[in-house]
């Protein structure tokens, strides 16, 4: 009975191994597999998952050791399909019908494997092969899917038997890879022993499963494979970089990379500048970087040495080293789109920076103050919450030698017409970010806030990922990050005073609130506006929802003029996080008074007389003028009506101002009515 059981198990495993489809390797290789359609059983692609615990393998060596337990017979599942972009998580490798690539993004397993089964139909034994494919990934830099797996990239192996313990690592295809990338990878593999004619070769890709594969920031990368091929390598050596004819500034890093194949195992590669040895490399991938090449032309070659004493020399390439030049920077033509903006709006500034070597960073300054530094293209800064006034936005590009280039743009930010600014955005605020409830009276005028911090709005933290850093950064955590006793600020409080000359001059008030995630606004201790929560919410409570715009804009609330008093007023705002995992806070506030509609100024030119008039029965208005649109408005010598209770309009019910049209105003002149005291 035992012998029969063992025989049955052995026969089953043999059947499983022979049931793999196989890719044919002929005298010209496998050809390029473009995966235009989903692989079928005969195409030789299979997958499997191992274990059921996320986060089991956190080192490359740990995963290398674990893979030795795999047998080719156990990797027997045909690839299922998915059309999700970016690739979604799954226990198995899959074929992506949208991308037309193979993919791995594991979940609920120790690791997932993808395997190609290849049969030697070349008619002879094979000792070396070149494996090439395109690997793409969507990892921590990707805007759609934030990730930080413990082991980046695939770990890639080969075996001629598929038995446990027979897997050989391919270092060139197992490099850690971070970011969002597309790499054309290749490796010459010296097969241990021969791949006999008619024999089978297995290539295995393994990817660990991080501890939180379905949630940022530690979920696994969505890696894909395309344009796969296996060929017999050509004997010889070539310099794959730099390109022939390339130019470099002096002291700039120049990397020489060689691809080599020889009759025996390669033992070393020499890199030469003319007849001068620059460096020697004994391990693949063969490369060398130098910053000491002199000015002028250089002829570069690489020489390989193998275990049989053979040498091969690459075709020469020529490069030129020239004196370093400063970078060049400009802004996209449609960056500003206009030169005038309203307060509170957002402006995206895109800079184009190039250099004969490399741009190391672009600094963005507003009115001479550094706001943002971007180290890699695209060089973009989002200036949010614009404040009133004339401004200069500057981008400064620096190169690897510290040379710089500057590009500046000017713009004007204005308040909308027909409003009186009672509290401007970008004001100075007292704020409380200590993580401790200061008591219920914090929003009252008589509260002592002398121990509070102060800063210019926007105030908050966490928005640097959107290239719109806060003017004042408050504290996210009270205590030391990672310390169990540290407190995450669920709530931050803000206070500032503002003056109102005459509340009755406004027909209504507008509160414009920037808040992420929820907030309540108080004026003189009374709640007047709320976002995602209600007044009276406990200090430690979270808001009912997150801010729909992530703190990028302002929410408007109309409140009665009776909300303020003549003279000093207090604005107090509590801003709450939506949950303990929220990573940012944003806050700023404006309060506007709405003016009654402005009267129409009628201008009549008759002969040598210029007559300006407007309706009577209104509050006091003054006539202002300017010569150019870009000039400031200037009061015309106190022409304000009514100037006192006895100042009545003319018989036609209008106030009139008459001037001699003697050319004193120049070839053109602009006039307007403005409320007195504006």
Please report, for the domain that includes residue 488, its CATH number: 2.60.120.260
Dist. CA 605–CA 625, nearest whole Å: 16
Percent with pLDDT over 90 in the chain:
45
SS3 176: coil
Q: Do 445 and 524 contact (CB within 8 A), yes or no? A: yes
pLDDT at 456: 94
Section 198-215 average pLDDT: 79
pLDDT band per the 50, 70, 90 thresholds, residue 141: very low
Q: Domain for residue 136, yes or no?
A: yes
**Mean pLDDT estimate for the chain:** 84
632 inside domain: yes
Q: Residue 19, CB half-sphere, CA atoms under 13 Å: how many?
A: 13
312 in the same domain as 195: no
Residue 477: what pLDDT?
72
Residue 1 lies in a domain: no
How many CB atoms lie under 10 A from the CB of residue 100?
A: 14
Q: What is the mean pLDDT of residues 634-647?
A: 81
Residue 516 confidence (pLDDT) above 80: yes
Of 221-225, 603-607, 617-621, the range with the lowest mean pLDDT is 617-621
| Residue 187 shares a structural domain with residue 316 | no
428-453 per-position pLDDT tens digit:
999 998 888 999 999 999 999 999 99
Q: Provide the pLDDT for residue 151.
A: 66
Q: 551, 566, 594: which is the final residue of a domain? A: 594
Q: Are residues 144 and 70 in the same domain?
A: yes
- Residue 284's pLDDT is 84
pTM across the whole model: 0.59
Structure confidence at residue 466 (pLDDT)? 66
Within this chain, do residues 425 and 510 fall inside the same structural domain, yes or no? yes
The predicted model gives 483-507 an average pLDDT of 82
478 in a structural domain: yes
The answer to the question of residue 219 being in a domain is: yes
Structure tokens at 525: 């201790």
Mean pLDDT, rounded, for 58-87: 90
CATH number at residue 628: 2.60.40
Residue 8, in any domain of the structure: no
Q: What is residue 439's predicted lDDT score, i.e. its pLDDT? A: 93
- Average pLDDT of span 410-415: 88
Q: Element (H or E) spanning 496, and its range?
A: strand 491-500
Q: Among residues 367, 394, 414, which one ends one of the domains?
A: 414
Calpha distance 507→492 (Å, rounded): 32
Task: Say whether pLDDT at 259 is over 80.
Answer: yes
According to the model, what pLDDT value does residue 549 have? Answer: 61
181-192, pLDDT tens digit by residue? 667 888 888 887
Q: How far apart are CA 636 and CA 626, in angstroms?
A: 9
Is 13 inside any structural domain?
no
Residue 201 sits in a domain of what CATH number?
2.60.120
What is the arithmetic mean of pLDDT over 278-285? 92
pLDDT at 616: 83
Domain shared by 55 and 183, yes or no: yes
pLDDT in tens, 79-133: 999 998 878 889 999 999 999 999 998 888 889 999 999 999 988 888 889 999 9
Token reading at 98: 């949208």
CATH (domain of 341): 2.60.40.10
Check whether residue 182 and residue 225 sit in a common domain: yes
Please give the residue range of the domain that contains residue 387.
331-414
Asked if 546 and 654 sit in the same domain, the reply is: no
Number of domains within the chain: 5
Edge-to-edge order in the sheet of strand 621-626: 634-641, 621-626, 670-675
- Kindly state whether residues 206 and 297 are assigned to the same domain: no
d(CA 326, CA 320): 18
C-alpha distances out from residue 557 to 499, 504, 589, Å = 20, 19, 11
Are residue 584 and residue 642 in the same domain, yes or no? no
Task: Grade residue 322 by pLDDT with cuts at 50, 70 and 90.
Answer: very high
Neighbours of 236 (CB within 10 A): 14
What are the DSSP calls for 358-425, one per residue?
Answer: -EEEEEEEETTEEEEEE-SSSEEEEE-S--SEEEEEEEEEEETTS-EEEEEEEEEEEPPTTEEEEE-T
347 shares a domain with 276: no
Per residue in 32-42, pLDDT tens?
999 999 999 99
Same domain? For 312 and 390 the reply is no
DSSP code for 549: T
| pLDDT tens for each residue of 546-581 | 666 666 778 899 999 999 999 999 999 999 988 776
Query: For residue 631, what pLDDT is reported?
Result: 85
Which pLDDT score, from 0 to 100, does residue 427 have? 95
Query: pLDDT grade, residue 495 (50/70/90)?
Result: very high
Of 14-28, 315-329, 544-558, 560-574, least confident by mean pLDDT is 14-28
Q: Does one domain contain both 271 and 209? A: no
4 pLDDT band (50/70/90 cuts)?
A: very low
Arithmetic mean of pLDDT, 192-210: 88
- Name the band, by pLDDT with cuts 50, 70 and 90, for residue 216: very low
4 falls within a domain: no
Tell whether the model's pLDDT for residue 667 goes beyond 90. Answer: no
Looking at 257, 290, 322, which one is the last position of a domain? 322
pLDDT at 478: 67
């Amino acid at each position: 009975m035992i012998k029969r059981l063992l025989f049955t198990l052995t026969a089953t495993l043999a059947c499983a191994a022979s049931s793999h489809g196989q890719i044919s390797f002929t005298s010209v290789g496998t050809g390029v597999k473009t995966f235009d359609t989903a692989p079928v059983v005969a195409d030789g692609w299979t997958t499997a998952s191992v274990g059921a615990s996320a986060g089991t393998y956190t080192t490359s060596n740990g995963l290398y050791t674990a893979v030795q337990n795999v047998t080719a017979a156990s990797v027997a599942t045909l690839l299922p399909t998915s059309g999700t972009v970016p690739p979604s998580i799954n226990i198995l490798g899959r074929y992506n019908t949208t991308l037309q690539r193979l993919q791995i993004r594991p979940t609920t397993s120790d690791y997932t494997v993808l395997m190609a089964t290849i049969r030697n139909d070349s008619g002879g034994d094979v000792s070396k092969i070149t494996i090439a494919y395109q690997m793409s990934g969507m990892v921590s830099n990707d805007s759609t899917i934030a990730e930080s797996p413990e082991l980046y990239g695939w770990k890639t192996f080969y075996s001629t038997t598929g038995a446990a313990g027979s897997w050989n690592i391919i270092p060139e295809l197992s490099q850690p890879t971070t970011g969002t990338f597309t790499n054309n990878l290749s490796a010459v593999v010296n097969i241990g022993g021969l791949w006999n004619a008619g024999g089978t070769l297995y290539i295995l890709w393994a990817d660990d499963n991080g501890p939180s594969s379905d949630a940022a920031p530690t979920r696994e990368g969505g890696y894909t494979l395309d344009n796969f091929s296996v060929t017999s390598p050509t004997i010889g050596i070539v310099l794959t970089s730099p390109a022939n004819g390339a130019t470099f500034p002096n002291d700039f890093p120049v990397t020489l990379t060689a691809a080599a194949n020889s009759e025996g195992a390669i033992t070393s590669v020499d890199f030469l500048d003319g007849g001068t040895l620059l460096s020697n490399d004994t391990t693949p991938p063969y490369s060398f970087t130098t910053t000491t090449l002199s000015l002028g032309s250089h002829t570069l070659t690489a020489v390989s040495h193998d275990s049989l004493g053979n040498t091969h020399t690459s075709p020469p390439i020529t490069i030129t080293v020239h004196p370093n030049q400063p970078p060049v920077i400009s802004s996209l033509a449609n960056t500003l789109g206009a030169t005038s903006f309203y307060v509170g709006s957002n402006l995206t500034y895109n800079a184009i920076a190039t250099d004969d070597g490399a741009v190391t960073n672009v600094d963005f300054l507003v009115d001479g103050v550094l706001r943002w530094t971007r180290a890699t293209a695209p060089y973009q800064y989002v200036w949010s919450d614009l404040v009133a006034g004339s401004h200069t936005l500057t981008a400064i590009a620096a190169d690897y030698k510290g040379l710089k280039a500057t590009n500046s743009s000017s713009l004007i930010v204005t308040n909308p017409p027909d409003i009186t600014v009672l509290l401007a955005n970008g004001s100075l605020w007292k704020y409380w970010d200590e993580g401790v409830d200061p008591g219920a009276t914090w929003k009252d005028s008589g509260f002592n806030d002398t121990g509070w911090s102060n800063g210019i709005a926007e105030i908050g933290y966490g928005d640097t990922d959107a290239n719109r850093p806060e003017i004042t950064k408050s504290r996210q955590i009270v205590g030391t990050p990672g310390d169990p006793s540290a407190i995450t600020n669920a709530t931050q409080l803000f206070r500032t005073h503002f003056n109102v000359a005459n509340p009755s001059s406004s027909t209504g008030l507008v509160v414009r609130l920037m808040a992420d995630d929820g907030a309540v606004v108080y004026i003189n201790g009374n709640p007047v506006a709320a976002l995602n929560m209600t007044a009276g919410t406990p200090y430690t409570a979270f808001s009912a929802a997150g801010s729909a715009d992530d703190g990028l804009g302002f929410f408007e609330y109309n409140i009665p003029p009776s909300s303020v008093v003549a003279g000093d007023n207090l604005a107090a705002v509590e801003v709450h996080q939506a949950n303990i995992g929220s990573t940012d806070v944003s806050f700023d506030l404006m309060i506007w008074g709405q003016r009654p509609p402005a009267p129409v100024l009628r201008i009549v030119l008759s002969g040598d007389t210029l007559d300006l008039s407007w309706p009577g029965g209104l509050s006091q208005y003054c006539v202002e003028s300017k010569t150019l649109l870009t000039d400031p408005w200037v009061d015309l010598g106190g022409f304000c009506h009514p100037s006192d209770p006895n100042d009545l309009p003319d018989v036609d019910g209008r106030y009139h101002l008459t001037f001699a049209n003697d050319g004193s105003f120049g070839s053109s002149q602009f006039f307007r009515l403005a409320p007195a005291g504006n």
